[in-house]
Amino acid sequence: MNRQRLTPARLGPSDVLRTGAAGLRTRPARVVLSALGIAIGIATMIAVLGISSSSREQLLRQLDRLGTNLLTVAPGQTMFGEEAKLPVEALGMVRRIGPVRTASATGTVDTTIRRTDRIPKAVTGGIAVQAATADLLTTLEGRVVKGAWLNAATEARPAVVLGAKAAQRLGITRIGVQVWMGERWFTVVGVLGPMPLAPEIERSALVGFPAAEKYLGFDGHPTTIYERSAEESVEAVRAVLPRTVNPENPEEVTVSRPSDALAARAAAASAFTNLLLGLGAVALLVGGVGVANTMVISVLERRKEIGLRRSLGATRGQVRLQFLAESLLLSALGGIAGAVLGGLATAGYALSRGWPPVVPAWAFAGAVGATLVIGTLAGLYPAMRAARLSPTVALATT
């Protein structure tokens, strides 16, 4: 007997793709509609991930610009629960710490700032009056938007520099204006720009230490010391600050790093983001069911084609592969469209907010993975049905 080996030819990847695509080409409307569900799901997930990473990127870049080497020192509480005070000489001690590059201080002055003496004392507008050392602006890397910062001459005179919010609340838009502080008039000599790392300065009216002592009864005790050191020695400095500032009662000193708040915001994923991600996943699931439905119908409609292919020598496996490829192509089409849409939505939203548009690469990888998994799952059952069809039954269908 002739036992010549009968082995079916293997289909190359391009032939598998061709047979898979053949079924889609003739039904474009159905392809678009059933790929749409997947496209919406993928687009939602990419856009949600993209927008939240763009906002995070924005915060990280801001952190980068502002630096994370700023520490603030403030008095805590005494053992008896009273407000502690920083010693008058604390600032000088901080400046003597080796790695400290620049340090400056503010001290709360117990008075108010008003446009005129006729406005009642109680109406402070939430503006704090503070004494500030002359190098405060250098330490905070802040900017003056109008007029000038305090100098050796003005820090001893009845002159005041307003933080951005303070100026806004007082309705002051130009310098040279007189404001009522304590029991006398001060002249506004400057207005500061925004200070993301020291929002309390934005809400302050700042006078020089000598002027505060002379005109406003300031006791000379700093209430906040701002300090910058080299980035790599921040932790070391942080460790020695309490004992340096208050050798007798180091536990009455609190040290904090304002950039930590920004970093925490960057790290947090909001509950809203998770909710939207869940919605995207549901859309994706519904899209997968749509693809499966389309594939089942496709197999039913194409029984004759299946029979013909079997008569031409297609094995069951090759028929199965054809319909799996078709299902994968269908969901890949939706996935690609969704990724493009999601990318565009991210770019549009981020640019409208002035953020850098960022979609993490893993989100795209996840989208590819999700579409492959969905395409396979949706195609598996229809493909098995197609492969199980007997060639004669398939051909006999009219």
Contacting range for another protein; rule: CB under 8 A; set: 37-45, 303-311, 341-349, 354-362: 303-311
CB of 376 to another protein, least distance (A): 23
- Residue 202 vs 305, nearer CB to another protein: 305
- Residue 8 vs 356, nearer CB to another protein: 8
Tokens of 119: 């406005």
User: Mind spelling out the 3-state secondary structure of 276-344?
Assistant: HHHHHHHHHHHHHHHHHHHHHHHHHHCHHHHHHHHHCCCCHHHHHHHHHHHHHHHHHHHHHHHHHHHHH
Q: Which of 1, 79, 122, 123 binds another protein (CB under 8 A)?
A: 1
- Residue 3 vs 118, nearer CB to another protein: 3
Cα separation, 173 vs 160, whole angstroms: 14
Contacting range for another protein; rule: CB under 8 A; set: 312-320, 326-334, 343-351, 371-379: 312-320
x/- map, 15-44, another protein, by CB under 8 A: x---x--x--xx------------------
Helix 361-388 × helix 316-353 angle, to 10°: 150
CB of 393 to another protein, least distance (A): 9
CB of 15 to another protein, least distance (A): 6
Residue type (1 letter), 314: A
Number of other residues whose CB lies within 10 A of the CB of residue 321: 20
- Residue 114 vs 302, nearer CB to another protein: 302
Tokens of 71: 């520490």
Sign of CA dihedral 30, 33, 37, 39: positive
261-290 binders of another protein (CB under 8 A): none
CB 246 within 8 A of CB 122: no
Q: Which of 60, 263, 308, 341 binds another protein (CB under 8 A)?
A: 308
Contacting range for another protein; rule: CB under 8 A; set: 14-22, 91-99, 253-261, 281-289: 14-22
Say how many residues touch another protein, by CB under 8 A.
Answer: 36
Q: Which of 114, 146, 309, 320 binds another protein (CB under 8 A)?
A: 309
Q: Which of 155, 227, 252, 305 binds another protein (CB under 8 A)?
A: 305
Tokens of 139: 């330490």
- Residue 28 vs 171, nearer CB to another protein: 28
CB of 383 to another protein, least distance (A): 15
Q: State the virtual CA torsion across 226, 106, 166, 178 in degrees, nearest 10.
A: -140
Ranges of H-type helices in the chain: 13-25, 28-66, 90-95, 136-140, 164-170, 199-202, 209-215, 234-245, 259-267, 271-301, 303-311, 316-353, 361-388, 391-396
316-375 binders of another protein (CB under 8 A): 316-318
Q: What is the CA angle 72-73-75, rounded to 5?
A: 140
Q: Which of 313, 352, 354, 361 binds another protein (CB under 8 A)?
A: 313
CB of 30 to another protein, least distance (A): 14
Q: What are phi and psi of 281, to 5 degrees?
A: -65, -40
- Residue 11 vs 191, nearer CB to another protein: 11
- Estimate to the nearest angstrom the gap between the alpha carbon of 178 and the chain centroid: 42
378-397 binders of another protein (CB under 8 A): 390-392, 395
User: Measuring CA to CA, how many Å separate 124 from each of 61, 170, 396?
Assistant: 35, 9, 92
Binding site for another protein (CB under 8 A): 1-4, 6-12, 14-15, 19, 22, 25-26, 304-305, 307-318, 390-392, 395, 398
